[in-house]
Structure 1
Amino acid sequence: MNPHDDDAPQHPGGRAPGKPGRKLGPIADGVGSAHRAWLEPLREKFLSSGMTISELHTRTGWAKSKISELLRGTGLYPRWEITQSLVQELRIPTWPMRRLWASAALEAQKKQDWIDRCIERPTAVSTSPDVPPIDHQAFKELQSEFYESYADVFLCNSPLTKRVIDDAFDVLELRWEEALSSSDVVRFAWSVLRSSVMARAPHVDGRPDLGAAVFDTVALERAVSDEEKFAQLEESSALFKVLSRLPDQQLDVMVLRHLRGMPPSMVADVLGVPIASVRSDERHALHVVEAVLGTESDPEGNAL
């Protein structure tokens, strides 16, 4: 018996009707961050559509149990064929979803050849990628460099950075109408980017770990002797532990201002907040650093 036979579409005639309007349960514990990146928008679209799982069963031919499993993230990682059926029925842009699905499959320990076989199977999807909204593309070109710079601090300049940034922009494309209708597109986009980065960044006691960033500071590069380098590593390590425990926006401001050297006006543009807010967050963060460490040096070892 083919182990994937239970994944095959089951048309309505062969199944007893389920209870209409059954409430969709929550996403299962243990669903990875990359999986959630596409599952959450899919669930939101399903819930806002007014459809039931029984209706999706009727429209797609997939068993209600399989649809329910997919929408809750239970069972085995879903194949692209059933995922795509729901994506198309709910009128969600296919190509960003497919990229997010493939990224999450890697996180779920699926081999690349399994992913390729799933995607290469004949489907109803057009062979031409969706054309993203022009304003989304323009926004991506404008912000990519800043987003990558921020992500590198937490992901240690690893190859994972590009995937995280690509995933964030794919999620943003799926939620672009929501972003446009929000109070501030830039702030909305930053929340998507930050969530994507923090989901992959190492954490200690629930806060992002900046430990590896101590090896990528200007002050360390300037140190000449081994003794100077060791002292600088100790100083930066203590400082970064304090920074990691700051409130989220204060942490972001300090990373962009003092680890990435952005002026306050640029930080405000990237975060989508007033420049007065940037200055206030920086001031409060520096007071915390001073109180804990009794120092007036910034993360790069420069006088403030």
Structure 2
Amino acid sequence: MTGGLDLPAAGGVPPRRPSRRLEISFEAFHEFHARKWLEYARLHTGDALGAEKLTQAVYQQLADHWAHVLLQPSVDSYAWTVFKEHIAEWFLNNGRSTAAAQTAALTAVARVLLRKYGQQLALLDDRTGPRGGMSRLPERQCDVVVLRFVIGYSEDRIGALLNVDATVVRSHARHAKRRIVAELGGARGPYEEG
């Protein structure tokens, strides 16, 4: 994966070997995100092989331009944008709608919340189903709840990926939970907190 860290040099000069530090920093980035981004892609595409190819293409693009990536104000946010662009391209190339992908991802969120809160959310699948209010969450709220409750990122890491403060992440999560509760007819419970 790190063999692609060679960047074309200006003026036709052959590319230099990347520094070992570049390789190490990319390897660390890849190691930290690889499993989680693969799961995110799998949830959204519904295709394990497609998700694997998609994430490999993302990491190859990032590796090929890693020196440039490191110059960005936020490496995580820049890389996440590249990742989301690859996902959008996958949907376009495969004739799939992003709404269907969001529904699949939010179904996984519902399962996690059901395990966590048990009977308090037992009505979730019956009342919202795949076409309920959860599928109409704004993209940022959807990303936050998927990244937090299914993928397992911390609020700080989600903030770094989305280039927002952790308080904004908490706000998105809170609004998404309220929307889910509203779909349940205003039921209240601990899942509505924070």
Query: Which residue in the other structure is 2:32 paired with?
Result: 142
Identical amino acids, percent of aligned pairs: 22
Shift, 1:197, TM fit: 2.2
Shift, 1:167, TM fit: 0.6
Query: Which residue in the other structure is 1:64 paired with?
Result: none
Letter in 1 for 2:149: H
Letter in 2 for 1:198: A
Larger Rg: 1
Among candidates 241, 245, 259, match of residue 150 of structure 2 = 259
Residue 303 to residue 90, structure 1, CA distance change in 2 (3 Å)? farther
Shift, 1:154, TM fit: 0.6
Among candidates 55, 64, 74, match of residue 174 of structure 1 = 64
User: How far apart, CA to CA, are the structure 1 residues paired with 2:53 and 2:84?
Assistant: 14
In the superposition, the TM-score normalised over structure 1's length comes to 0.44
Letter in 2 for 1:242: G
**8 Å CA contact retained: 2:36, 2:151:** no
Instruction: State how 1:182-201 maps to structure 2 within 5 Å.
Output: 182-201=72-91
Residue 278 to residue 270, structure 1, CA distance change in 2 (3 Å)? same
Letter in 2 for 1:303: Y
Among candidates 253, 277, 288, match of residue 168 of structure 2 = 277
Letter in 1 for 2:142: L
Extract unaligned runs of 5+ from structure 2: 1-7
**8 Å CA contact retained: 1:132, 1:173:** no
| CA distances 1:247-283 after superposition (whole Å, capped 9, x unpaired) | 3322210111233344423433554532112112212
User: How far apart, CA to CA, are the structure 2 residues paired with 1:291 and 1:232?
Assistant: 11
Q: Which has the higher helix share?
A: 2
Query: Which residue in the other structure is 1:303 paired with?
Result: 191
- The 3-state SS of whatever aligns with 2:73 is coil
**8 Å CA contact retained: 2:177, 2:191:** no
**8 Å CA contact retained: 2:140, 2:172:** yes
**8 Å CA contact retained: 2:80, 2:162:** yes
**8 Å CA contact retained: 2:127, 2:183:** no
Residue 210 to residue 141, structure 1, CA distance change in 2 (3 Å)? same
